[in-house]
Amino acid sequence: MAWLGLGLIGIAASWFDHGTLYPGWAALFPVIGAVALIAAGPAAWLNSKVLASHALVRIGQWSFSIYLWHWPLLYFFRTLGWSQVSPVMLWTVVPLSIGLGVMTHALIESPVKKWALRRTAWGLLIAMSLVGYLGFNVYARHGLDFRERIAIEGFGGVSAESTPGCVAKFSVYRPTFCQIYDDTRPVDVLLLGDSMGHNAFGGVAQAYAAKGVNLAMIGWPGKPPLLRASGVNSTDEAEADLDRLLSDIGDDPRYSTILLTFRLRYVEQVDVNRLAATLEYLRRSGKQVVFLIEPPMLPFAPISCVGMPPLRPQVNKTCSIAEADLPDHYFSDRADVLRVLKAHQIQYFDAHQMLCSDQRCSFLLDGQVMYRTVKYLTEKGSVHVYQGILGNLHQ
């Protein structure tokens, strides 16, 4: 029975991987294996001669400390990106976990067991309070992500979320972000969008400025610039403000060109008919409408392309992927949007074509990564991708 138990545990340890549904039926293997080992009793040869040996007993004493160390170490090394370099580096976690586990057992676990109860309680309370405070502090500060932002934005820059002149001009609509390329001049062209507007503004604004045209960008996070569905009453104030803005734009002769953009994923969440209705409304109002198709999201953290010395290496030196490795939904969402645009004969600019060619997508510009997060371009990235918009419109 003892050998059966060891075999079941061995199967679980050697055959199960990240694709195994666990917990579930797979949990029966280690559980039944452990029960079989215990049920075999101390007289079983495997238990008395092997598992009760001095070496394995010692490992058992260290095991909990080793267990406590291995997860944070695995996560730490993966965060550094070392697992992308070589599995050998990842496996350095194993001896490191054992070494730290042995030290923790000898220097902390064993001495604490000999403390008086009151001293132990106070020591544990102070230690847990300190760890809890540090954990909450890191959580409240978004994982201290400012370190990555500084590293990335130092390469390519990031534009302001709003400019004072824009906020004052469009205050009646209470936009979350609002930028005008030149606050001192009248606005000629409007860019409406969700947060994807930030990707486009830097490059598009410069392209229009070269023609003497002043661009404003207005938007709300998570709100595609679409008219509300007919007969649907919403209590969302941002949607109401956006709906009012679209209605007013249709009646305002100052804005002859309207640019629209939003995350392609919203195609699944909103009625495609809303996009069609919005495009048709703006066209009937005499507007030239241009849709900006977003660039692809990165499947990896942009920091992996530049690193953060001395601990985080540059593990993705090419900072590129095969076009086929982009998510399937990215292509299906693009197809859905393009179908509507072509049906209504709407011009569009495809940021994808500025980053992907010959079946490969590259995200480096002069050795600098063009993304500041997996979704958003740096200022230099925006200029590189969108500065050619006026010469690359499709229909």
The pTM for the full model equals 0.71
Average pLDDT, integer, range 307-318 = 75
For residues 167 and 26, membership in a common domain is answered with no
CATH number, residue 204: 3.40.50.1110
pLDDT value, residue 220: 92
For residues 78 and 107, membership in a common domain is answered with yes
Mean pLDDT computed over every residue of the chain: 86
Average pLDDT, integer, range 154-174 = 83
For residues 196 and 103, membership in a common domain is answered with no
Q: How confident is the model at residue 231 (pLDDT cuts 50, 70, 90)?
A: low
For residues 128 and 83, membership in a common domain is answered with no
For residues 39 and 130, membership in a common domain is answered with no
For 178, list phi and psi in degrees, rounded to 5.
-160, 120
For residues 213 and 107, membership in a common domain is answered with no
For residues 285 and 374, membership in a common domain is answered with yes
Q: Could you tell me if 386 and 370 are in contact, meaning their C-beta atoms sit under 8 angstroms apart?
A: no
- Whether the upstream peptide bond of residue 23 has omega within 30° of 0, thus cis, is yes
Q: Which residues of 219-234 are buried (b: 16+ CB within 10 A; e: fewer)?
A: bbeebbbbbbeeeeee
Range of the domain at 20: 2-118
pLDDT at 286 over 90: yes
For residues 267 and 323, membership in a common domain is answered with yes
The total number of structural domains that make up the chain: 3
Summarize pLDDT for 50-63 with one digit per residue, the tens: 888 888 888 888 98
Q: Which of 218, 301, 299 is nearest to 262 (CA)?
A: 218
* Count of CA atoms in the C-beta half-sphere (13 A) of 223: 22
The two three-digit tokens of residue 253, written as one number:
């002769």
For residues 92 and 180, membership in a common domain is answered with no
Q: How confident is the model at residue 300 (pLDDT cuts 50, 70, 90)?
A: confident
Which of the 8 DSSP states describes residue 31? H
Summarize pLDDT for 186-199 with one digit per residue, the tens: 999 999 999 899 88
For 163, list phi and psi in degrees, rounded to 5.
-120, 145
Q: How many CB atoms lie within 10 A of CB 135?
A: 10
278: three-class secondary structure by DSSP: helix
pLDDT value, residue 151: 63
pLDDT at 270 over 70: no
pLDDT value, residue 287: 94
Q: How confident is the model at residue 2 (pLDDT cuts 50, 70, 90)?
A: confident
For residues 199 and 345, membership in a common domain is answered with yes
pLDDT at 82 over 70: no
Q: Which residue matches tokens 């976690």?
A: 93
For residues 208 and 231, membership in a common domain is answered with yes
d(C-alpha 287, C-alpha 188), whole Å: 12
Among 99-103, 165-169, 275-279, 314-318, the range scoring the smallest mean pLDDT is 314-318
Average pLDDT, integer, range 202-218 = 95
| Whole-Å CA distances, 373 to 278, 305, 370 | 30, 12, 9
The two three-digit tokens of residue 36, written as one number:
């079989």
262: three-class secondary structure by DSSP: coil
The two three-digit tokens of residue 378, written as one number:
């740096």
d(C-alpha 197, C-alpha 137), whole Å: 32
Average pLDDT, integer, range 214-232 = 86
Which of the 8 DSSP states describes residue 252? -
What 43-46 contacts at long range (C-beta under 8 Å, 24+ apart), as own/partner pairs, is 44/1, 44/2, 45/2, 46/2, 46/3, 46/6
310: three-class secondary structure by DSSP: coil
d(C-alpha 176, C-alpha 237), whole Å: 12
For residues 139 and 106, membership in a common domain is answered with no
pLDDT value, residue 314: 73
Number of H helices, E strands in the chain: 17, 11
